[in-house]
Structure 1
Amino acid sequence: MAATIYYEEQAPIAPLAGKKVAVIGYGSQGHAHSQNLRDSGVEVAIAELEGTDNFRLAVEHGFTPGDIKTAMDGAALIIVTLPDEVQAKVYEGQIAPNLKAGQTLGFCHGFNIHFKYIVPPKDVNVVMIAPKGPGHLVRSEYEKGGGVPCLVAVEQDATGDAKAIALAWANGIGGARAGILETTYKEETETDLFGEQVVLCGGLSALIKAGFETLVAAGYQPEIAYFECVHEVKLIVDLIYQGGLSYMRYSISNTAEYGDLSRGPRIVTDETRAEMKKILGEITSGAFAREWVSEYQGGLKNFNALYAKDHDSQVEVVGRKLRKMMKWVNAKEV
């Protein structure tokens, strides 16, 4: 079934005209939503911790950030852009006590609402606008006169106009210029987690490391293995980004294309697909969410150990050396 897509004519900004919007958190998404909404003529109040880099950035951008209670007071829409793992605690301690009937709670990702770590009262709207791009892109495309496609979802409609408010928010950040796709909290949350774990982050990272380690174990130079299994990933991803798998295959050599079509299925086997289904099951059952929340609440011991192990692996050490040779890469070393 094809997605319903809304554009500017179906998503007027009028529902936010003359209204105040509170943005809680001035991080990656927060700074973009705040500036774009302000530039679209909407009154924006920022809640951010004083003394932090994000607080200073908000001031630099012409805002006067304050506490959550002050930002929420009189706001028609409250946009929560905090990290998933801290949202529930902040909600219970600072958002819920100041929430008024008829207000709209907005999120950029459905994790806490879908898995019920946050359960708002029935007399408020609960909506989501999830841009399909990082905050800096949401901002830069808006400034160019364009926008980043967004997802819209309504979990709770207490006032009867929750979707109109959400669409107005998406319009205000530029999303309606590109298109706003209708979804649900369940669909957005579960597909987002699956994509991160199986393809975009977990799957790709594991594939890169396995390829690199296979070549090095066979006696090839680590530097050459890095170029073939890490550095050139961007070339292929950029081609797919521009025109899908077909354009990538059109752009590479016939030798590479034949290797892709004939050998790729030997890497992603039925066993791999079965593990993908298992991971999806862990996501949909809430098992992953419980594991992640428990890990965070327990001090991130396993998280930090896994990070440290990969941070100092051979592929990372070799990569840091080689990236110094490529000034155009604008290397970001952590």
Structure 2
Amino acid sequence: MAKIYTDRDASLDPLRDKTIAVIGYGSQGRAQALNLRDSGLDVIVGLRPGKSWELAEKEGFKVYRVDEAVKRADVIMMLIPDMVQPEVWKNQVEPHLREGMTVDFAHGFTVHYGLIKPPEFVDVVMVAPKSPGAKVREEFLAGRGVPALVAVYQDYSGRALDTALAIAKGIGATRAGVIETTFKEETETDLIGEQTVLVGGLMELIKKGFETLVELGYQPEVAYFEVLNEAKLIMDLIWRYGITGMLERVSVTARYGGLTVGPKVIDDRVKENMKKAAERVRSGEFAREWVEEYRKGMPRLQKLLEDTRSHEIERVGKEMRRLLFGD
């Protein structure tokens, strides 16, 4: 049974009288920095010169170069993209770490796969909100929070979990609930879920459904509504009420058809393919492939993006969204 922490299990005390340096001011960086400051904590931002620097200053933060922010801080929050982290860590973070500091990550990728190897004299924790940054901020302002995962990779001080829970409380996550995990579990489940369901699997399911309808002679515009537009409506029902709750809220015909035909389409062969994809994540093969792709300038990724942009569902979808939403 998972260990779940809520507001009553966490205190901001481990962060009081400490300076928190948020490295990065993108989606997560901005949201978490603002939430922590609104929780009464001392927050500075570490950045490279650019638009993010200007925005952070405009929103009232003291902004420094990354190395200078690390020197001034007690807690470091690495909220820059995974593939950027190793170089920034090596050149601007690690040389300035002091004994007893805490380093927090929002995703375990770089640590789990050895791209970053923290020194033994710091606490290393993870607070991973299960939501984009904009939602982290929106829910906080509404007096709520988004769920998060929390993990301790290295407990030098003996109080690393308390600090991680304080961060989770500061960004509002303990209002919703924080599940204790490990860097390994968070990283691998995140990648497997993205690849097999949330991004890869869902995208391919929609595309294949669209292609099937069009190849059978149905109008592309009608096919778009059936397999893409309505997918959001069904997903909203599942998110709010669960799978059974969704089934109870669709027509009896949809219920019967879905339950009898769905397992024939998404069958055990698909599950086996998912397991193969999962094994590539668990073995580190995917991480090695992605790191190499990134170092080459991401040519394969760019080609795949172009292929997706040129798919008929994107052409039809652009026109449908223009009519529906004025995009």
TM-score when normalising by structure 2:
0.98
Of 164, 167, 174, which residue of structure 1 is paired with 2:165?
Answer: 167
Task: Give the secondary structure class of the aligned counterpart of 2:126.
Answer: strand
Q: Determine the structure 2 residue equivalent to 1:88.
A: 86
Task: Give the secondary structure class of the aligned counterpart of 1:205.
Answer: helix
Q: Determine the structure 2 residue equivalent to 1:139.
A: 137
Task: Give the secondary structure class of the aligned counterpart of 1:47.
Answer: strand
Q: Determine the structure 2 residue equivalent to 1:69.
A: 67
1:46 aligns with 2:45: yes
Amino acid at match of 2:109: F
Of 305, 313, 316, which residue of structure 2 is paired with 1:315?
Answer: 313
Q: Determine the structure 1 residue equivalent to 2:271.
A: 273
Q: Determine the structure 1 residue equivalent to 2:176.
A: 178
Amino acid at match of 2:25: Y
Q: Hey, what's the Cα distance between the residues in 1 that align with 2:239 and 2:97?
A: 41
Q: Hey, what's the Cα distance between the residues in 1 that align with 2:173 and 2:70?
A: 24
1:256 aligns with 2:265: no
Q: Hey, what's the Cα distance between the residues in 1 that align with 2:71 and 2:258?
A: 57
CA contact (8 A) 2:108 2:186 kept: yes
Amino acid at match of 1:272: V
Task: Give the secondary structure class of the aligned counterpart of 1:127.
Answer: strand
Task: Give the secondary structure class of the aligned counterpart of 1:326.
Answer: helix
Q: Determine the structure 1 residue equivalent to 2:284.
A: 286
Runs of 5+ consecutive residues of structure 2 not aligned to the other structure: none
Shift of 1:175: 0.9
Amino acid at match of 2:50: G
Q: Hey, what's the Cα distance between the residues in 2 that align with 1:320 and 1:59?
A: 37
Q: Determine the structure 1 residue equivalent to 2:236.
A: 238
Q: Hey, what's the Cα distance between the residues in 2 that align with 1:62 and 1:47?
A: 14
Alignment of 1:285-304 (within 5 A): 285-304=283-302
Q: Determine the structure 2 residue equivalent to 1:326.
A: 324
Q: Hey, what's the Cα distance between the residues in 2 that align with 1:101 and 1:62?
A: 29
Task: Give the secondary structure class of the aligned counterpart of 1:100.
Answer: coil
Q: Hey, what's the Cα distance between the residues in 2 that align with 1:175 and 1:298?
A: 37
Q: Determine the structure 2 residue equivalent to 1:19.
A: 18
Amino acid at match of 1:34: A
Single out whichever of 60-69 and 78-87 deviates more from structure 2.
60-69
Q: Determine the structure 2 residue equivalent to 1:29.
A: 28
Q: Determine the structure 2 residue equivalent to 1:207.
A: 205
Shift of 1:57: 2.1
Of 305, 327, 330, which residue of structure 1 is paired with 2:303?
Answer: 305
Of 105, 110, 113, which residue of structure 1 is paired with 2:111?
Answer: 113
RMSD (CA atoms): 1.0
Amino acid at match of 2:278: L
Q: Hey, what's the Cα distance between the residues in 2 that align with 1:30 and 1:9?
A: 25
CA contact (8 A) 2:48 2:66 kept: no
Shift of 1:177: 1.2
The superposition leaves residues 127-169 of structure 1 with CA deviations (integer Å, 9 ceiling, x where unpaired) of 0000111111111111111111111000000111111111000
Task: Give the secondary structure class of the aligned counterpart of 1:84.
Answer: coil
Task: Give the secondary structure class of the aligned counterpart of 1:129.
Answer: strand
Q: Hey, what's the Cα distance between the residues in 2 that align with 1:179 and 1:235?
A: 26
Q: Hey, what's the Cα distance between the residues in 1 that align with 2:34 and 2:206?
A: 37
Q: Hey, what's the Cα distance between the residues in 2 that align with 1:108 and 1:294?
A: 22
The superposition leaves residues 186-234 of structure 1 with CA deviations (integer Å, 9 ceiling, x where unpaired) of 1100000011000000000000000001111111111111111111111
Of 137, 153, 158, which residue of structure 1 is paired with 2:151?
Answer: 153
Q: Hey, what's the Cα distance between the residues in 1 that align with 2:37 and 2:274?
A: 42
